[in-house]
Amino acid sequence: MDEEFEFNDAEELRFSVERYEEMIRNKDQYFFDAQAFEGIIDYFIEKNDPIKALQVVEYAVNQHPYASVFLIRQAQLYVVTNRAHDALAILDRAATLESSNPDIFIIRGSIFEKFELFDQAIEQYNLAIEFAEDVDEIHLHIAYAFENLGQYDQAITHLKLALEVNPQNMDALYEIAFCFDILDKPEDSINFYLQFIENDPYSFAAWYNLGNAYTKAELYEKSIDAYDYAIIINEAFASAYFNKGNALANLERYADAIEVYKQTMEYEQPSAETFCSIGECYEKLELMDESRSYYKKAVKIDANLADAWFGIGVTLDYEERWYESLHFYNKAISLDATVSDYWFALADSHYKLGHFKQAEEAYEKVIEITENDIEVWLDYSAILYEQGKLQEAIDIIIEAIRANPEAAELHYRMVAYLFSRGHYQEAIQYLEVGLSISPEKHEVLFEYLPQLQTNLSIQQIIQRYLI
């Protein structure tokens, strides 16, 4: 009987659409009841033809002027066709016929959001809640508006209300994770999902988001367990496999991570990101042929994936094929020049090839991007020192210390350079600062200038700080 009913419904809709199109061709006026008009409007909306749907609505409004449903549909279509002000006027008309229809307030709210009037949008959504039966989607709209205002705590409140009404609202379940992430509150996120799972232990999305929260908190073993539960509930959940692979990689269990990454391909088409992640794991295992193979697969799928081009360069660098690595580092930089690691690797390859000028230029780029990478400052100063540019090396370390005053390694390197320059008293001052910050790191001084180990005054100063 259900099948027969659906067949009759489809037949009636086809007849209504044909009759409507005949009316348009004949430039005539046929009468349609409200149900027939609704069907014809939906037909053109499903055909992704809002202009024709709007034309039908106009006929419907003329024939059924007191049916608020058509005014509301007209307002929705005005929004879709970028006629927001007309939509607001139509909604005012609809409100005179049916002031308690929640759709009126929801559409108004969405229009105010378009105009970035988020406070007014929230006010309309709250009015909609007073009259609506299913309010989870309205709470979701309110949450989005609060997010746009940067009020993520308020957004979380409404996302929780949405989930109280409908625990199966996947958008709300994922959005609340996003809000906790923005607020950098992984512990709150963990507690929320643990509580949610107590009430709904078979929610694979909740287990997945719990895994993400544990990952954010760097509790990788726990995140793996959470992803495993998500996979048990939904075996085809490719994202859970991928994120489990990331957690295993963070634990340096690279071989296990590779196997898990490969499992994602059983449930979705291989992605460039997955191939790139596998390539990185093989790289960490120092299996460079396999690593390069997967990085190449990644760029074959997505030629704009900078990390994969960079990865190929890293494998070549490892094999001391520095000249070849330059091409791939430059390709990665051409796609994303804001990643300091790309410039750092480029500088290193140029240095190994004896291209000191190019290496210095690349180090300058790294420093423009980030002043907090201590290794960059040390390496940059070292290539200047090795070229006999001692004062320039000292100047770089001065600049580095200004940006990172608590980095003991920089103070110890300055000691080495100043001793080489013969500025012993100044060197002692830097030594004492370095020792006051981190006495246990003083060994790096001897790694760079071994002869200082036999310097009695240096040893006496160090011993004072080690006691």
Q: Which of 268, 295, 319 is the last residue of a domain?
A: 268
Domain assignment of residue 54, yes or no = no
Residues 211 and 259 occupy one common structural domain: yes
Contact between 379 and 350 under an 8 Å Cβ cutoff? The reply is no
* pLDDT given for residue 376 in this prediction: 94
pLDDT at 1: 38
- Does residue 66 or residue 79 have the better pLDDT? 79
Residue 161: inside a domain: no
Mean pLDDT of 149-174: 95
On whether residue 206 sits in a domain, the answer given is: yes
Q: Name the band, by pLDDT with cuts 50, 70 and 90, for residue 127.
A: very high
Q: How confident is the model at residue 16 (pLDDT cuts 50, 70, 90)?
A: confident
Structural domain boundaries, residue 240 = 200-268
| Choice among 38-42, 127-131, 295-299 with the minimum mean pLDDT | 38-42
For 317-383, the DSSP string reads HHTT-HHHHHHHHHHHHHH-TT-HHHHHHHHHHHHHTT-HHHHHHHHHHHHHH-S--HHHHHHHHHH
- H or E segment to which residue 36 belongs: helix 34-46
Residue 227 in contact with residue 207, Cβ under 8 Å? yes
Give the pLDDT confidence score for residue 98 in this predicted structure.
83
Q: Are residues 343 and 325 in the same domain?
A: no
Residue 190, amino acid: I
131 in a structural domain: no
Q: Are residues 326 and 342 in the same domain?
A: no
Look at residue 375 in the predicted model and tell me its pLDDT.
Answer: 93
Q: Are residues 355 and 378 in the same domain?
A: yes
How much is the pLDDT for 82? 85
Q: How far apart are CA 319 and CA 288, in angstroms?
A: 8
Q: pLDDT of 196-248, one tens digit each?
A: 999 999 999 999 999 999 999 999 999 999 999 999 999 999 999 999 999 99
User: Of 378, 405, 432, which one is at a domain's C-terminal end?
Assistant: 405
Structural domain includes residue 448 = yes
The answer to whether 363 and 373 have CB atoms below 8 angstroms apart is no
Cα–Cα distances in Å, from 203 out to 113, 193, 208, 210, 360?
31, 10, 9, 11, 54
Same domain, 352 and 391: yes
Cα–Cα distance measured from residue 428 to residue 202, given in angstroms and rounded to the nearest whole number: 64
Tokens of 399: 């600049």
- As given in the structure block, the two tokens for residue 363 are 């180090």
Judgement on whether residues 375 and 425 belong to the same structural domain of the protein: no
The four Cα atoms 387, 389, 392, 393 give a dihedral, to 10 degrees, of: 60
Residue 383 in any domain: the answer is yes
Measured distance CA(292)–CA(203) in Å, rounded: 38
Determine the pLDDT at residue 369.
95
- Last residue within a domain, chosen from 356, 389, 405: 405
- Asked whether the predicted pLDDT for residue 8 surpasses 70, the reply is no
pLDDT confidence of residue 41: 85
Q: What is the pLDDT of residues 399-410, one digit of tens each?
A: 999 999 999 999
In the predicted model, what is the mean pLDDT of the chain? Answer: 91
Instruction: Specify whether 250 is located in the same domain as 218.
Output: yes
Burial of 445 (0-12, 13-18, 19+ CB in 10 A): buried
Per-residue pLDDT tens digits for 354-399: 999 999 999 999 999 999 999 999 999 999 999 999 999 999 999 9
Give the C-alpha separation, 315 to 458, whole Å.
42
- List phi, psi (to 5°) of 79: -60, -45
Predicted pLDDT at 66: 79
- Across the range 19-25, mean pLDDT stands at 79
Instruction: Provide, rounded to the nearest whole percent, the portion of the chain with pLDDT above 70.
Output: 98
Whether the predicted pLDDT of 133 surpasses 50: yes
| Cα(321)–Cα(239) distance, integer angstroms | 36
Number of domains forming the structure of the chain: 4
What are the tens digits of pLDDT across the range 84-122? Answer: 888 898 898 888 888 889 999 999 999 999 889 999 999
Q: Is the dihedral of CA 41, 78, 137, 185 positive or negative?
A: positive
> For residue 396, what is the domain's CATH number?
1.25.40.10
Identify the band that residue 6 occupies on the pLDDT scale cut at 50, 70 and 90: very low
Residue 177, in any domain of the structure:
no
Q: How many CB atoms lie within 10 A of CB 211?
A: 29
Question: Is the domain of 320 the same as that of 341?
Answer: no
Per-residue pLDDT tens for 442-455?
Answer: 888 888 888 888 88
Distances (CA, A) of 207 to 139, 195, 234, 382: 23, 11, 11, 49
pLDDT at 4: 39
Which of helix, strand or coil describes residue 404?
coil
The answer on pLDDT for 5 being more than 70 is no
Q: Is the pLDDT of residue 441 over 70?
A: yes
Residue 327 lies in a domain: yes
